[in-house]
Structure 1
Amino acid sequence: MRGDHVSEARLLAVPAAADVVDGELVDDETAGAEVVVHTDRDRHLSPETVAAIEASVADSTRRAYGADREAFTAWCATEGRATVPASAETMAEWVRHLTVTSRPRTNRPAGPSTIERAMSAVTTWHLEQGHPKPNMRGARAVLNAYRDRLAEEKAEAAQARQATAALPPQIRAMLAGTDRTTLAGQRNAALVLIGFATAARVSELVALDFADVAEAEHGYDVTVYRKKVRKHTTNAILYGTDPATCPVRALRTHLAALAGAGRADGPLFLRVDRWDRLAPPLTRGGRPIGDPAGRMTAEAAAEVIERLADAADLSGDWSGHSLRRGFATAARAAGHDPLEIARAGGWVDGSRVLARYMDDVDRVKNSPLVGIGL
């Protein structure tokens, strides 16, 4: 619905009250000045500007919010309730519905974090349409009771789901069975080791181009654009002590393989099919799909990590985020400063997610039980 996109873009384009600084406030002397009435033209956003504003929101977030809003709309229609603006009672009943209704994919109700996201999707929807946020006091009480019940039942959903950390021993196991004589094997080794060494999200990893890689005396410098914090980090990729897990050697081998296939610019990580063909054309219904240059998708990169962990018979919850979490955990265990870890991985200052990764190490190393003579 284009109208929804325009309203969302307009909301993002207008500063919130918290964004206004004192220097922008109007003096009382202007209280009697003529009030400017904005016309439809003043409120107009071109399709190009709407698209530019939309691009600032991650595709995954936009898709998730869209699905949550559709589900809320369908439930309201079934219950005979108004969607927007929604009453406090509607919000409380809807959240209770989410806590007791099994989802088709998992055959169990949504977890607390998923419900939190759905609540956010609906409250922001109100703002986009010019309404105040609905009263969420009852809805939050329902969600808190749900958290307590899950914790008492020792349910898996009681704790936030986290990707298993890919630490050096696990990475060695993942790569041990990789055939590095093939284009796919060489790419996968470089993908895993550069992903770990740069603490990159898979979306950041597959966005790398040849131009982002520079050979250096210490190995390589790889410049990653961290979209969440909107800045570049240049990561020094150093030689590893084990040739099998050395990111410099893996990247050099991968670059040489690409050069042999006639690739010297464009995407660094390309799709490879089962016949080891580089960047084969993809079609659906006779129409070309995928990046025409052959760039891998973030989903494909995550699948590589999951598949390698599965082939190595590693237990845990493996995903594209395993490399990023593994970097933070391993670096902290090696005694590196949290600030330097955050800078290298593009975490925002005071990141709660990074702090949680640090806690995995610090809760043991800095435990009050250490050295007390038990």
Structure 2
Amino acid sequence: MDAGTSEFAVPDGGDVVEAELVDDRPPGTELAPVDRDRHLSPETAAAIAASVASSTRRAYGADREAFAAWCATEGRTFVPASAETMAEWVRHLTVTPRPRTGRPAGPSTIERALSAVTSWHEERSRPKPTMRGARAVLNAYKDRLAQEKAAAAQPKQATAALPAQIRAMLAGVDRATLAGQRNAALVLLGFATAARVSELAALDLAAVVETEHGYDVTLYRKKVRKHTKNAILYGTDPATCPVRALRAYLAALAAAGRTEGPLFVRVDRWDRLASAMTRGGRTIGDPAGRMTAEAAAEVIERLAVAAGLTGDWSGHSLRRGFATAARAAGHDPLEIARAGGWSDGSRVLARYIGLGEHRYSGYR
């Protein structure tokens, strides 16, 4: 799908033969499990961990640490956890205020914490705890929140960055600076490709190819484990044209001596390419200066706040905005899913475009 056609470059069965299983092992040989059968090398463990998004790993780590601490306080075993322990823990989460918000965790946060603990059991080759009691407690909590019409009863969603909001976000960006050119390119490319901030941060200059229609940008969509090539088209308004913004940023990078490596890089307070970060004499972060996903999300949040926009702004705002605006413009949901790297039948995408049909029809 061309997201930028508007103002914003948005076997036959055979015979079954019965056979006798024959044990062809030498006499006296036994197939008994040994310790090595349960052993994972550090390299394989790291490969398994790498299959999960870094943000999810951090969240799971915090959830597991909190669960282990609660179990220690209560004199309970955290792995393997009993069904009773899981039910009591969920009840604890539904009534205990969190330091940051002063309110108990919401249902989605508790769902994530349950996933963190059950997957912990799998990683330790232990049977997952029975969750019937825990689920009953959580369902009762959801019912109570719904009856109270509490905000926590509603799934938390990022505010959609739609064309009008993006225009406002970019109005105050100084395009004469390297940082301003980077931020404009990040926002407009993020919208045009419906990219997650982690996908934007992972882009290299080699993934951006200039074409007659503008650019082709190849992103790796980690959630579906596929590469997608997205056509970036010219927009009718130069101020919000992703092709022009990307071209200006690439020229600025080249002028600064950067023609390979990461696309989106850190810029220091003097508007220069930031040097490698060090701590205790050791390099930390990406030595080539690649922005982190968190830093990219912060750019979006900061621009929205500076523009005086209200709502819950995050790195996901651009992705949601693309889906909402594309559906409002009449694009087929399957086209939107393929262009943005959503899995077929994605419930998240269905929620986004369901809103688009009713609330945002004015942005056609």
Q: State if a TM-score over 0.5 links the two structures.
A: yes
Q: CA deviation at 1:286?
A: 4.6
Q: How does 1:208-287 map to 2 (within 5 A)?
A: 208-287=203-282
Give the Cα–Cα distance (whole angstroms) in 2 for the partners of residues 137 and 46 of structure 1. 34
Q: CA deviation at 1:283?
A: 3.0
State the partner residue of 1:13.
none
Q: How does 1:289-368 map to 2 (within 5 A)?
A: 289-363=284-358
Q: CA deviation at 1:42?
A: 4.4
Q: CA deviation at 1:362?
A: 2.9
TM-score of the pair, normalised by structure 1: 0.87
Give the Cα–Cα distance (whole angstroms) in 1 for the partners of residues 40 and 180 of structure 2. 48
How many residues are treated as equivalent by the alignment? Answer: 343
SS of match in other structure, 2:79:
coil
State the partner residue of 1:108.
103
Aligned partners of 1:279 and 1:293 also within 8 Å? no
Q: CA deviation at 1:154?
A: 1.9
Cα 1:344/1:187, change in 2 over 3 Å? same
Which range is displaced more, 311-320 or 62-71? 62-71
State the partner residue of 1:30.
21
Give the Cα–Cα distance (whole angstroms) in 2 for the partners of residues 33 and 277 of structure 1. 70
SS of match in other structure, 2:21:
helix
SS of match in other structure, 1:29:
coil
Give the Cα–Cα distance (whole angstroms) in 1 for the partners of residues 139 and 36 of structure 2. 46
Residue in structure 1 matching 2:129, options 125, 128, 134: 134
2:14 is equivalent to residue 39 of structure 1:
no
Q: Deviations over 1:62-95 (max 9, x none)?
A: 2222211111111111112222222222111110
Cα 1:138/1:31, change in 2 over 3 Å? farther
Q: Deviations over 1:239-291 (max 9, x none)?
A: 00110000000000000111111111111111111210112332334543221
State the partner residue of 1:180.
175
2:89 is equivalent to residue 94 of structure 1:
yes
Q: How does 1:18-97 map to 2 (within 5 A)?
A: 29-30=20-21, 34=25, 36-97=31-92
State the partner residue of 1:202.
197
Aligned partners of 1:98 and 1:109 also within 8 Å? yes
Residue in structure 2 matching 1:122, options 94, 117, 131: 117
Give the Cα–Cα distance (whole angstroms) in 2 for the partners of residues 177 and 299 of structure 1. 22
SS of match in other structure, 2:217:
strand
Residue in structure 1 matching 2:139, options 141, 144, 158: 144
Letter in 2 for 1:213: V
Q: Flag as ranges the 4+ runs of structure 1 deviating above 4 A.
A: 31-35, 363-366
SS of match in other structure, 1:76:
helix
Give the Cα–Cα distance (whole angstroms) in 2 for the partners of residues 173 and 226 of structure 1. 28
Aligned partners of 2:324 and 2:360 also within 8 Å? no
Letter in 1 for 2:161: A
Aligned partners of 2:325 and 2:360 also within 8 Å? no
Q: Which runs of 5+ in 2 are unaligned?
A: 1-12
Which range is displaced more, 314-323 or 114-123? 114-123
TM-score of the pair, normalised by structure 2: 0.89
Question: Per chain length, whose mean CA-contact separation is higher, i.e. which structure has more relative contact order (CA < 8 Å, sep 6+)?
Answer: 2
Give the Cα–Cα distance (whole angstroms) in 1 for the partners of residues 223 and 91 of structure 2. 32
Q: Deviations over 1:185-206 (max 9, x none)?
A: 0000000000110111001001
Q: Which runs of 5+ in 1 are unaligned?
A: 1-21, 367-374
Q: Deviations over 1:191-248 (max 9, x none)?
A: 0000110111001001111110111110000000111111100000000011000000
Give the Cα–Cα distance (whole angstroms) in 2 for the partners of residues 169 and 200 of structure 1. 19
Aligned partners of 2:276 and 2:288 also within 8 Å? no
Cα 1:313/1:264, change in 2 over 3 Å? same
Letter in 1 for 2:330: G
Aligned partners of 2:276 and 2:286 also within 8 Å? no
Letter in 2 for 1:290: G
Which range is displaced more, 216-225 or 120-129? 120-129
State the partner residue of 1:5.
none
Letter in 1 for 2:216: D
Cα 1:172/1:38, change in 2 over 3 Å? same
Task: Note the aligned Cα RMSD (angstroms).
Answer: 2.1
State the partner residue of 2:184.
189
